[in-house]
Structures are given as C-alpha cells and as structure tokens.
Amino acid sequence: MKKKQLALAVAAALVSSVALTAEPGTEEAISEVVVLGIKKSLIDAIEIKRNNVGVMEAISAEDFGKFPDGNLAESLARVPGIAIDRSNVEGQTIAVRGFGPEFNLVTLNGRQMPTNPGRYGGGRSFNFGDIASPGVAAVEVFKSGNITLPSGGIGSTVNMVTTKPLNVDGTLTSFSIAGVEDTTSEEGGLPIETSLLFATNQDHWGFSVSASYQERTNRETGTRESNWIIPAGDSAHEGNRIPSTAVITNNSLRDDDVTFYQEPTAYLIKDNDRTRTNVQTTFQLMVTENLTATVDYTYSGVEFESEGTMFGPWLGGWTTEQATINANGVYTDVVVGDRGYDHTVTWGDSKSSNNSYGLNLVWDLSDSWQIEFDAHNSTAKLAGNIFDNEMGVTSPTDTVTHTNGGTSGIQSFAFDRDFTAADMQVSNLVMNDEAQVNEIEQYQLKVNWTNPDAGFVRAVNMGLSTSDNQFNRIKRNAGFAPGERYGADAFDDALFQRTLLDGDFMDSFSFTPGTNYYFEVDAAAAFNAYAALAAGLVDNADGAVCCGAGGIDSNERVREELDSAFIQVQMAADIGRMPLNIVAGLRYEGVDTTSTSLYPLVNQIGWGIDGLYGIRGDVTDGSRYGSHSTVLPAINMSLGLDDNQVVRLSWGKSMARPNLGDLESQLNIGAQDFFSLTATGGNPDLNPLMSTNLDISYENYYDEGSYLAVNYFRKEIKDFIGSQTTRDQPFNGLTNPYAGEIGQQAQEIVDAWVAAGQPWDTLGNPDFGVLQGFIWGQRGAGWPIEQHYVTAAAMMLANGFDNTLTFDTLNGAAVSTCSGNTLPNGAPGNPYYLCQDPLLGQSTDPVALFDITQPYNMEKGRVSGWEFAWQHLFQGTPYGFTFNYTLVSGGNVEPDRADVGRQFILPGLGDSGNASVFYEDDKHTLRLALNHRAETAAGFANYDQPVFVEERNQVDFSYQFRYSENTTVFFDAMNILDEETRLYVRHPEMLFLAQDHGPVYKLGLRTSF
C-alpha cells in the first residue's frame, strides 16, 4: 500500500507542477502551441482511420524513432477493442473483441510472420515482446475484412509497418538510452535499453537501419499453479481421496454433491533475466522512374534465463484429518497429516530468434496500372528450456493446516513442527530440452487498376499468393527418481539455506503466510550432489541415463501449403450530397496439411510404483494428411453524412487456422490416477474456424484531432476447436498388466486391507499379508496411497511371495530386500517390491483400453459487443484525453461455472477499456494512462477446471522534457499502483495462480540529428 501511495503522489505532483508552470496566460501564448508528440500521433492515426472504408484503427509514431510506447503491445492496449496479456508487467500478446491471441493474425508489411507456440500456445499467436518499437512507423488494426491481406484473423488482422527510407525527408538519425529499474529485481546494477534509428533518402535510393538492445531483470513472487481435483470423481479405480475418518463440516449447496479440493498449496519466488535484441534494415532503389525495388531484413532475438523455487506441501487429500466445505462445494480450510515441506527448484535458459528476408517490387505500368511482387522467407526459432528443469526437495512429514484465502486473497499453510536444513533432501530430477522452428516462405503478386476517369468503379485490385509454412518441434525429457530416496544425511546442509519471507513478499495482496520461511537452494550445487548419487540411474520410459534430457522423445513436423487468390473492387458514388464508398471482394483459400511424427512407438504397457506407463520401442515416422478450401466474401461501406460524420457498414467472412500444436499427429500414452490409460494427440484434418462478421459504426470527427465513435459488432462462428474423448479404445494391440490376474488379485488384497482398517501388522493374515514389507518400509513416510499398495502387492505376487505365510513361518526366512535385510525384524533399508523390474503387459493379459483425446471441430457460437471511443484535444490548450471501452457478450461461449467436465470456452472473452489524460506543450509532455481489463475467461486448468483472470487495472505514467529541439529527457513508470494478477478456477476462492510484479521505472535520453 505504501508503494501505491508514494507512486501516485509522485505522478500527481509532476502533473500538477508542470501544468501550473505552463498555463498559457495570453492569446499569443495559446497561438504558439505546436502539434507534435502525442498530438501528432493521434492526429495521424485519425486520418488513417477516417480515410479507410472498413472498420480499423491505427497507431502512428510520435516522431522519427519514437513510438507512443516502448512496447508495441502497450501501444495497442490503447486501441478500442484490444486488451493485452502481460508477462512480468510487459505486454506480450493481444486479445481483440474477446478473441485471444491465437485468433488474431499479425503481419509485417503485409506478410504473414512465423511464430512458435512456446510453453502452452498453439503456434499462431504473435509475441509482441519479441519486437522493439523504434523501427516501426505505424501499426494498422483491421477489424473488418481486408481480403488483400493474408487470412487468419477472426478478431483482427494487425499489420506492422516499418520505416521506408524513400518516405523520409533527407537524412535523419535518432538515438536513445535509458536505465531500467524494476522494483522487484534482486540483481545489482542498472539494466539498460538503447536504440538507434538511421534513415536517408537520396532521391533515387534510400537506406534505413534500426537497432535496439534491452536488458531486464525482475523477481516474480506469487503462488504456484494449483490443481483442483474432484476427490470422489478422479477415477473409478481410485475412489474418494478423502478418508472416511476425516472430520468434515459440509456446507455445500450443490445438488450433485460434487466437491473441489486443492492439491498443492505453495508459493513461488523466481528470478528472471531477459535480453532482447532487434535489427531492422531496408534498402530502396528506384530502378527506373516507374520501378521501385525494396530489400529488407528483420531480426529479433530474446534470451531468457530464470531460476526459482516453489515451496509448500502437496495436500493430495488422502490423509485429510479435518476439513470445511463451503456453499460452492469447495474445501477451504483443511488439516492434513503426513505432509512434507516440499520444494521444487526450477531453472531454465531459452533463446528465441526471428529472421525475415524480403523483396518487394512495385512497377507503375501507367497512370492506371500497377504491378506489385512481394516475396519473403521468415523463420522463428525457440530452443532450450521451454519447460524448466525441476529438482524436487522434500522433508520428513508432519501435520499441516491449510487456510483458504477467500474470494480475493491468498492461501496460507502452517506445519505443526519447524524444519531445518538438516531435514531436507533432494528427491528427484526432471530434465527438459526442446527446439521449435517455424519457417514461412511466401510469394505474392498483386495487380492494381485505378480508373483515370473516376467513375463509379474507382479501382480494381487482384492478387495471387502461395506460401509454404513448416513447423518442427523436437522434445527431449527425462525424469530420475531412485527406488528409495537417498536420505537427508546424503546432502550437505549448506545446500539448503533457511530464508525468512520478508514484508515485501507478495505485499500487494496484504496477507501473512502461515509458514514464514523457505529453503533457498543452490541449484547448481544441489544438482551436482544429486548427480553424484544418481549416476547410472535410468528413466524407465526411454532409457535415458541420469542426468541429462536424453535422446529425442518426439519429432513433430507440420507442413501447410497454402494457395490463395483475391479480387476486390472499389466503388464510389454520391447519395444526395453524401459520399458513399464501397469496397467489395472475394478471397479464395486452399490448404494442404501434412503432419509427420518421428517418435518411439509404445509397444508395451509397464506398471511401476507411479502406475501404468508406455514403454517405448522402435522409432517410427508416420504421416497423416488433411486439406480444405474456402471462399471469403467481404463488403465494406462508408457513408459521409456531412463533413464530420461517417457511418460504416461491414459484412464478410473470416477464418482462423487451427493451432500448429493441434495439427500434430503423435499420440502420447499416459495414465490418469495410476490405472486409467489415456492417449492424447493432434488432428491434422482440422478445418479452419469460420466466422461471419457484421460491423455497424458511427464516427463524428467534430474537431481537429477529436472524434466520437460507437461501433456494434457481431460474429457468428462455427468449427471452434474443442476436445473430444473416445472412451475404452484399443491401441496398437497393447495389453494391460493391471487388468490381468495378478493386478486384480492385488486390488482385491488392498480392498480387503482397507476394509479391515489398514492394520499395521498383516503377517499371519492370508488375505493381505503380502503387504507387510511395503507397510513396514514406507507407511511411516506418509506418501503412499492405495494405488501404491496395489502396486506393492502385485510386485510381491509376481515374484512368488506366498501370501499364506504367517509371521512365525516368515520370521528369518530368506525373503530379502535390496539391502539384504529380511522382511520382518526391523525396518528394511529398501522395501522388497522396489527391487523388482516393472510389471509388463503380457499376451495373456486383457487388451488395454484407452481414453483417446484429440481436438475436433465441434463447437459454434456467437460473440457480439459494443465499442465506444472518445478522443478530445482541447483546442488552444496543451490538454487532451482519450477514452475507449469495449463490452463483449459471449452467450454460448461463456463458461458455466457449475458444470463439471469439459466444456467450450473462448480464451480472451471479457470486457476491456483504456483512458488517458495528457498535457503537451513545446517543452513538456505528460501522460497518465489507465488500462482496464475486466474478468476474462482464460481456458482450462487440470481436471477440466475453467480458469478466469480477475479484473486488472494497470496505471502508467510518462513524462518528457524537451531540453532542445533535438534532445529529450524522458521518464516512464509502468504499473505505478503495483497492481497484482490473480487467476482462479470456477469460483474466486479456488485460487489457481497469483503474481505480484511491482512497478517498473525508466529514465533516459533521446536525441535526433
């Protein structure tokens, strides 16, 4: 709270002091106000918007080398209908009219750019965090159909226009440098941002180059992502996770008795280091008076390093002692026994790069005819730890009390005991490595005819395009966990530094953690210590040997070959004294898709301590195919009611292609809740999403730089991609060892043991004496659940254990554990079952039945809404403001919070708005801006729980002082009120993720010459 008050006071003081000192006192002072900076950008953008027939928005540079914001996404956030998704305060992706980033196409100078899916995305969404703004002259946002641009955007098509040197007057150079202070950063020093833009126009040739370099360090504090299970409905095999002995106060009002239980309760501290580099260069040559050639190259690169710790117990549910269930069926406050103070150390290093080479030829054949040829080859690469490496650290177990944070807060947990470094040990290791490459080669030919007689038909535009879009994803993953943990004594206590959570930890949420400390782990030293102990440890799934990511687990390739053609006619007439402009046309799209997967085919089902899994065999390389074609009509009309007022009507069809990840052909074998076999994968024959769009708008340009606009939009969409699961399907002739004779006998043994109250001494009981070794060896550890006991029983039975033995006959018998101890008489060093190889599916076992989940075109829906925009420049004064708000209604695409199971959700659906006030004279420019995003649907978490992002309001402030005509000192402050981010599933008290980022400040110098 103190940081919010201080930041707001500083911003208010700056605004008031400059405004008072610069107040005009005479008519002469008022007449000297010059249009520049923010005003120039707004006026230029209005002209682009006003002169376009369809519904669109634009953002223009304030000056040579100066975009309104250092980040393109932040600038787009001020456009009506656009909301942005941020990562560590910075904007990265956009949602337009309730449609998330995968439904919006981003082009560079009219060319489709490649992208990479990253961690969870599908590969169509563009990350604006990759591109710095200095080399961008304008951004155009087409909300209604523009068939001359590549298809792929249902929400919008965003075209970034870079600097063209032949459009520059003479020679211009701009340079800027700034220091960045992220208030969360724990790193020393002052990261810098610097940029250079040079352009020269030598009449018949021109050259421009822009380059930028940006460093950023920050610390994330928050919670880890939380799974919310349905304890009684995870699996037919598991049954209810909550033991019958738990004392439960049930206040649920749900008719179906479904309840929701939080699996992990944990926090996160993570340090990030990001470096971004951009280069964009263009050479233009007037080969002849009528032929202009342009060659350009664009590069962007980001290196991202992180190291963090998640800390808190995995509640699970199995050992719950007390609990309270609220009216929504949510387990809020719970007491759980036998839980360790679990830590997960994460670290990663990833590098991304984008390279684009382009050629453009424009040939003016005559005053009426023009031919344009454009070609580019562009590649996006992402490699390294797309998913972080993880190292598990745990402790002895004890009872923990978990307290829910309510509808707006953060959960807390408190153990009944205190832990020290001597209690901690490394338990397991997961290594990840991934590489993604997306390459697009595109050729476009356009022919434009302009009517020299200015008749009803003013112009005709025609074009052909062909592109080859190839995507490749290679994954490597390996997990290493010993049969029995090495123990705390095997690790130096110095690896685990007990660290107090100070008052700054998640301070924007105003909560007090129940456990006010965690163990900061030296990741490199702990890794080396674990690797020394685990040398030779093998990942059973693929045979990788500790401690690397192993060989290739999958190699997915998707290729799209797209051909398109369009024709567009521009018409104009007068209705009385009102000018009418019409643009109508058709675009044809045809695409062939080939999806090829190179991966080890699962040829046997294995059964280990964590349940069923697929054992990989020979590598196979198989392809699957798909194709589709469509015609997209569009018509845009504008009617000038008078010199200031315009009415627009647009109708048309648009499309968005499936995510590249959804087109992959590989099926991944796994198991849910130990024994329910699953297979998940892509579908190369998916159809594109089709939308029929209607826009009606009214705009009033009542003064220079000022306007009012109201826009109604509606989109009828079909072939939304959903997830379809086909139950109980055989796959590749695999058999299921759990469903076999031994597996079912083991299940019956455990069922009988549970029914008897889970006695500690089972020897002498012919029904479940087989469990004794596992009980003695592991029950005190607290982690086993019923499925673990089933596995132990099956392994003992498979190795010839005589279940009729009594304690007396077994005592001293030569039934050895791995460590050589006999089963009775003392706790064995390793339980007997862990010495055995996994049980394998045999030909005599029943056929394995899988729940196969794949994406399908199965949904349709309607999205409609209203956009309101008001921009006003107070003529004769240095003041102005902008305001816009978008109301979105999803109808049948809005999630049902009460519905359990998979349902259709449109990611990004939610209202948004922006407001800013500014002051600008010949010396000073100040702007205070609010970016609002209402509660937004975000997709699904585990167990088909719908995720929502809570309402968020970010306030930014900027100030520029023009020291001279060519030199400006600037100060930017982002997130000055320290707005937090909070996500939940289904109900606000079901916290999914919370993040506290803090303000970011920049102080710098910009000069031009």
User: Could you give the CA distance from residue 435 to residue 385 in angstroms, rounded to a whole number?
Assistant: 9
pLDDT at 24: 39
Mean pLDDT across 154-183: 90
The predicted structure's pLDDT at residue 544: 82
Q: What are the strands, taking DSSP E only, across 736-846? A: 839-840
CA dihedral angle for residue 454, residue 458, residue 459, residue 460, rounded to 10 degrees? -130
**Confidence (pLDDT) at 816:** 38
* Span between the terminal Cα atoms of the chain, in Å: 44
pTM exceeds 0.75, yes or no? yes
Token pair recorded at residue 380: 């996006």
Mean local confidence (pLDDT), 960-973 = 93
- 3.30.360.10, 1.10.10.10, 2.170.130.10, 3.40.50.300: which CATH number matches 32-198+205-212? 2.170.130.10
Burial track 37-49 (b if 16+ CB lie within 10 A, e otherwise): bbbbbbbbbbeeb
Q: Model confidence at 46, in pLDDT bands (50, 70, 90)?
A: confident
| Token pair in block for residue 596 | 């090829």
- 637 near 648, Cβ under 8 Å? yes
For residue 236, name the pLDDT band (cuts at 50, 70, 90): very low
Read off the pLDDT of each residue in 493-512 and give the average, rounded to a whole number: 90
- Average pLDDT (325-341) is 94
Give residue 760's pLDDT.
66
Count other Cβ atoms within 10 Å, centred on residue 348: 20
Contacts of 524 (CB under 8 A, 6+ apart): none
pLDDT in tens, 908-946: 888 999 999 999 999 999 999 999 999 998 888 887 889
| pLDDT higher than threshold 50 for residue 690 | yes
Nearest-angstrom CA–CA distance, 456 and 575? 12
SS3 state of residue 311: strand
Q: What is the pLDDT of residue 121?
A: 56
Query: 243 by DSSP, 3-state: which?
Result: coil
- In the chain, pLDDT over 70 holds for what percent of residues? 87
Say what the pLDDT of residue 120 is: 59
100: pLDDT strictly greater than 70: yes
Whole-angstrom Cα distance, residue 993 to residue 981? 8
Residue 793: what pLDDT? 80
Residue range 349-370, pLDDT digits in tens: 999 999 999 999 999 999 999 9
Instruction: Of 228-242, 353-367, 615-629, 667-681, give the lowest mean pLDDT range.
Output: 228-242
3-class secondary structure, 110: coil
Average pLDDT over residues 980-1009: 93
What's the chain's average pLDDT? 84
Calculate ∠ Cα 495-497-503, nearest 5°: 155
| Alpha-carbon gap, residue 245 to 255, rounded angstroms | 24
Name the pairing type of β-strands 82-87 and 90-96.
antiparallel
Q: Do domains 32-198+205-212 and 213-613+639-677+685-730+851-1008 have the same CATH topology?
A: no
Report the DSSP beta bridge partners of residue 714: 694, 864
Domain boundaries, the chain: 32-198+205-212, 213-613+639-677+685-730+851-1008, 741-840
Amino acid 381: pLDDT: 93
Per-residue confidence at 723, pLDDT binned at 50, 70, 90? confident
Predicted pLDDT at 333: 94
Most confident of the ranges 108-122, 519-533, 592-606, 844-858: 519-533
Query: What are the tens digits of pLDDT across the range 621-665?
Result: 778 788 889 999 999 999 999 999 999 999 999 988 887 778 777
Separation in Å, CA 179 to CA 786, 971, 1002: 57, 10, 6
Residue with tokens 């469509």: 630
- Closest C-alpha among 519, 464, 457 to residue 491: 519
Q: Once rounded to an integer, what is the mean pLDDT over residues 164-183?
A: 92
Mean pLDDT of 75-89: 79
Using CA atoms, how far apart are residues 350 and 432, in angstroms rounded to an integer?
Answer: 11
User: Mean pLDDT over residues 403-427, rounded?
Assistant: 93
pLDDT of 814 over the 60 cut: no
Window from 442-451, 496-505, 558-567, 783-792 with minimum mean pLDDT = 783-792
Is the per-residue pLDDT at 82 higher than 60? yes
pLDDT at 821 over 50: no
Per DSSP, what are the bridge partners of residue 32?
none
Give the pLDDT score at 817: 39
The pLDDT value given to residue 26: 35
Sign of the torsion angle spanned by Cα atoms 638, 641, 646, 651: negative
Residues 62, 924: Cα–Cα separation, whole Å: 14
Between 728 and 5, where is the model more confident? 728
pLDDT, tens only, 440-499: 999 999 999 999 988 899 999 999 999 999 999 898 998 888 866 788 999 999 999 999
3-state secondary structure of 427: strand
| pLDDT for 70 | 66
SS3 per-residue string spanning 51-68: HCCCCEEEEECCECCECC
CB 946 within 8 A of CB 937: yes
The confidence score (pLDDT) of residue 769 equals 62
Q: Is the pLDDT of residue 410 over 90?
A: yes
Q: Do 540 and 608 form a contact (C-beta atoms < 8 A)? A: yes
CA dihedral 9, 11, 16, 17 (to 10 degrees): 100
Counting runs of H as helices and runs of E as strands, what totals does the chain give?
Answer: 9, 46
One-letter identity of residue 75: S
Q: Give the pLDDT confidence score for residue 776 in this predicted structure.
A: 52
Contact 54, 81 (CB under 8 A): no
pLDDT of 731: 83
pLDDT at 29 over 60: no
Q: What is the model's pLDDT at position 807? A: 40
Alpha helices per DSSP H over 846-937: none
Pair type for strands 457-480 and 554-575: antiparallel
Q: Is the CATH number of domain 213-613+639-677+685-730+851-1008 2.40.170.20?
A: yes
Rounded Cα gap, residues 126 and 115, in angstroms: 6
